[in-house]
Amino acid sequence: MSDAYCIQINELGGPEVLTKVSMAPREPGPGEALVRQSAIGLNFIDTYFRTGLYPVKLPFTPGQEAAGTVEAVGEGVENVQPGDRVAYMGTGTYATHFTGPAARMIKLPEGISEDDAAATLLKGLTAWMLLFEIRRAAPGDTALVWAPSGGVGSLLVPWATSMGVRVLAVTSTEDKAELARKAGADEVIFSHEDVAGRVRALTGGKGVDVSYDGVGKASAEASLDSLKPRGWWMTYGNASGAVEPLAPGELNRRGSLVMTRPGLYHFTSNDDDWRRGASALLGALKTGTIKAQIGQDFPLEKAADAHRALENRRTTGSTLLRP
């Protein structure tokens, strides 16, 4: 496979450190499958590894999700076979080929494309975690959703509204606001406004039950100020940088708030949890509750350009890298 390559990080830094490197796909061992990838999902966590916010051993191949066609399987593999279309999460998917545990690969049913799967798997499972696993969303809840037109937000908004949640979306431009409204947001607040003040006005002074906040440092104070007593702040991303340390007493002062900083891998650490989440996601896709929102794609060898677009807020929905 002389055409096989991966994108590698040999030093920490900006997008320019992403380097194309020839590779030989690893043959699958027991319990593994080798996949020729057709679509790779881009996620903010990829930039955290690149910059060193999340430490990794170098050299490192980024990438957390992808989809493609199985080319070979190792001993003992029964759930997939060569020719199957599959999607999966796993470290090192910025490559033409991926070899990993077959138990963590899910066969794609008819009607769900590899593009849709790669665009939604990690982001959709993150939405599933937020809505079902940490604190189950309930009809009558009011939620603040930051970055509603982003990868997670574009799935979180329609999934939440399908559960009877009133969504107040916070975004930066009118174009993104229109996307949020089309996804089901009841109200849109612009990030340059007094977000907490607008939330209070829209909720009769009560505040929201939960803030789904993937922005991080820049949105932290507004999230806290927007919550009702005993409200939940789910700070799940660092798009604007890591949140500053917060004294526990501050949560009490604001009304016995609950703060959590979840990571998806803690909620999919065993095969049963992974399959349960993946099944819920595929079910939501098949019924049309959520839809893949692919805003743009880039050739895999241009991964640096994709990182620049993501970090400069020039993307909407999900971004794919194509080998």
Identify the structural domains of the chain with CATH numbers, from first to last.
5-121+267-322 (3.90.180.10), 139-261 (3.40.50.720)
* Model confidence pLDDT, tens digit, residues 194-238: 999 999 999 999 999 999 999 999 999 999 999 999 999 999 988
Report strand pairing: 85-89 vs 105-107. Answer: antiparallel
Residue 63 has pLDDT above 70, yes or no: yes
pTM for the full model?
0.90
* Model confidence pLDDT, tens digit, residues 107-145: 999 999 999 999 999 999 999 999 999 999 999 999 999
- For tokens 């809840």, the residue is 141
Rg (CA), the chain: 20
Region 242-252: mean pLDDT is 94
Q: How far is CA 310 from CA 23, 28, 81, 130, 190, in A?
A: 26, 33, 35, 22, 19
Percentage of the chain exceeding pLDDT 90: 94
Secondary structure class of 310 (helix, strand, coil): helix
Residue 1: predicted pLDDT: 55
Residue 241 has pLDDT above 90, yes or no: no
Using alpha carbons only, give the angle 209, 294, 56 rounded to the nearest 5 degrees: 75
Residue-averaged pLDDT of the chain:
96
| Beta partners for residue 150, in sequence order | none
Residue 239: predicted pLDDT: 85
Residue 2 has pLDDT above 70, yes or no: no
Region 246-265: mean pLDDT is 96
C-alpha dihedral, 128 to 130 to 134 to 139, nearest 10°: -90
Q: Any idea what DSSP says for residue 4? A: -
